[in-house]
Structure 1
């Protein structure tokens, strides 16, 4: 089978299309014929040698990246028959493996794919959708009528989070470049703020829940606009500790969290997509042999929605 691999950390140029044997499933696992894999910031950071996963890989490895897949079950499970179209967040955090024609998967990670999306596009839903869902509802306990601010609202996680916030009855604001404000308005965002403008958060009031998808100074600069009883959730692990400390110094609650696979949460997201309440926006679809270009695009920071890698046929 063909798979995307790398054996060293570095720029996108270290990505290689490699011929590998199909994986041998462990006891209880099933094989999925992968149609497409979703690209996420963790894929780019790990390839660059940053973060927890890169630290665990060490110095001698051959890594098949990818945590999001959409494809077809090659063998049935107790819930899904062979031939079923499925999506899932797989191999998180150390195994990965979605960027290959065949992937061995633990069945609880898989759910039936949305029936109203092309299968390849559905690969963009699992990790980003779960990150948004778990932030807003599991950790943030978002309630109707509360004010939600999403930092980087037009990105992969952000564009789903703003929609989920509106679906839950919150008043939603988001930061993004001015060019993405019409996109966010169509998703139901009532207050769009251009992060390039100094003081862009001033005058927008205070927020009950801030979902920080950027980290570092961006999260720190938003802390003064968090309500006294509010909560900031920060996703980038690299700066989570410093933001938590900054929050403590200002008497504000800050919590870092990491997404976890969860079948029930993913099923709820699929139901919302099928009901038309959640729109998954695909910015670009690349064939697997153009993975380096896809990585560079995501690294540019100028992507709204999701980037997809499509597996070769056969």
Structure 2
């Protein structure tokens, strides 16, 4: 099989397609022939050596995968021929940038007919981050006012749709070029953060889901109602922010996504009901992974990028 590996930290050019032996599934694991691989901004940072999550090269990046079970020798959950997708092993290395992967059967779910392999591969990391942030941590319920920062990006565009499906009133911040896109996802209000100070335009928010960090997350305290909840995917280890929240009578939670078949099946349910769609900005052939990473490095994506195998 082919894998995409790197032997040093650096730019997209360090990613190289090489031949490697196929892995063998352990008990409770399955062997999956991969059809599509979702890309995430974290992987660009790992490639560049900015985050020490999986150690030093050589390594194979990637978690979001969709494909077909090829072998399932010691698990009852799947059989060869089943179409599955998921986010196995995160935050441990899963070797997802490959033509074949092994994964714990519990970290995968069946791919519904309503999702192509490309769409399925785009969903797990962003979908579970949004689900765990809004549902498991945020406890969003019908009638809540929810503010989603970075609503045009991977996590943000899924979060808008999940919050709407939960019955929330959704306010979203996005760049001006993405306003129409985000409004089309169902957001009740879309604020162009480059033109409008959201702290002057928004009040009495129950839950903020932050995917931006920095000044944005700190300023979000001003828009929360008393007892409101700030959920951040990027600033959970900020003791100063935690102290400010406590002093203001606000709650702070950091969401670090983890594999969750219950959450994935809930996302599948929303897809099948027509209440959730994952947007793929662009697909790339497996061999053009460096080009895809150049787009990741540039940022300001609309939804997700996906490799096809």
How far, CA to CA, are the matches of 1:9 and 1:156 in structure 2? 24
Q: Is 1:33 paired with 2:57? A: no
How far, CA to CA, are the matches of 2:102 and 2:235 in structure 1? 27
Q: Is 1:75 paired with 2:46? A: no
SS at match of 1:202: helix
Q: Are 1:128 and 1:160, in contact at CA under 8 Å, matched by a contact in 2?
A: yes
Task: Give the TM-score normalised by structure 2.
Answer: 0.94
SS at match of 1:196: coil
Equivalent residue, structure 2, for 1:2? 2
Q: Deviations over 1:31-87 (max 9, x none)?
A: 10001111112212211222351xx514xx321111110000002341222111110
Structure 1 runs not aligned, ≥5 long: none
Structure 2 runs not aligned, ≥5 long: none
SS at match of 2:118: helix
Instruction: Work out which of the residue numbers 177, 183, 188 in structure 1 matches 2:181.
Output: 183
Instruction: Work out which of the residue numbers 106, 120, 123 in structure 2 matches 1:122.
Output: 120
How far, CA to CA, are the matches of 1:110 and 1:84 in structure 2? 11
How far, CA to CA, are the matches of 2:16 and 2:240 in structure 1? 35
Q: Are 1:216 and 1:239, in contact at CA under 8 Å, matched by a contact in 2?
A: no
Deviation of 1:238 (Å)? 7.5
Equivalent residue, structure 2, for 1:49? 49
Instruction: Work out which of the residue numbers 99, 106, 128 in structure 2 matches 1:101.
Output: 99
After superposing the two structures, state which structure 1 stretch, 41-50 or 168-177, moved more: 41-50
Task: Give the TM-score normalised by structure 1.
Answer: 0.93
After superposing the two structures, state which structure 1 stretch, 18-27 or 153-162, moved more: 18-27
The runs of at least 4 aligned residues of structure 1 exceeding 6 Å deviation read none
SS at match of 1:264: helix
How far, CA to CA, are the matches of 1:237 and 1:38 in structure 2? 24
How far, CA to CA, are the matches of 1:108 and 1:241 in structure 2? 34
Equivalent residue, structure 2, for 1:24? 24
Q: Are 1:68 and 1:88, in contact at CA under 8 Å, matched by a contact in 2?
A: yes
How far, CA to CA, are the matches of 2:13 and 2:249 in structure 1? 44
Deviation of 1:251 (Å)? 4.1
Q: Are 2:91 and 2:258, in contact at CA under 8 Å, matched by a contact in 1?
A: no
Q: Are 1:193 and 1:201, in contact at CA under 8 Å, matched by a contact in 2?
A: no
Deviation of 1:252 (Å)? 2.9
How far, CA to CA, are the matches of 2:28 and 2:46 in structure 1? 28
SS at match of 1:51: coil
Deviation of 1:139 (Å)? 0.3
How far, CA to CA, are the matches of 2:235 and 2:33 in structure 1? 32
Q: Is 1:271 paired with 2:280? A: no
After superposing the two structures, state which structure 1 stretch, 66-75 or 246-255, moved more: 246-255
Q: 1:214 to 1:78 in 2, by over 3 A?
A: same
Q: Are 1:51 and 1:237, in contact at CA under 8 Å, matched by a contact in 2?
A: no
Q: 1:115 to 1:234 in 2, by over 3 A?
A: same
Deviation of 1:275 (Å)? 1.6
Q: Are 2:2 and 2:17, in contact at CA under 8 Å, matched by a contact in 1?
A: yes
Q: Is 1:65 paired with 2:61? A: yes
Q: 1:142 to 1:33 in 2, by over 3 A?
A: same
Q: Deviations over 1:236-278 (max 9, x none)?
A: 1576445324434544322112011111110111121122111
Q: Are 1:154 and 1:184, in contact at CA under 8 Å, matched by a contact in 2?
A: yes
Equivalent residue, structure 2, for 1:216? 214
Q: Deviations over 1:186-211 (max 9, x none)?
A: 11101111121252331222311000
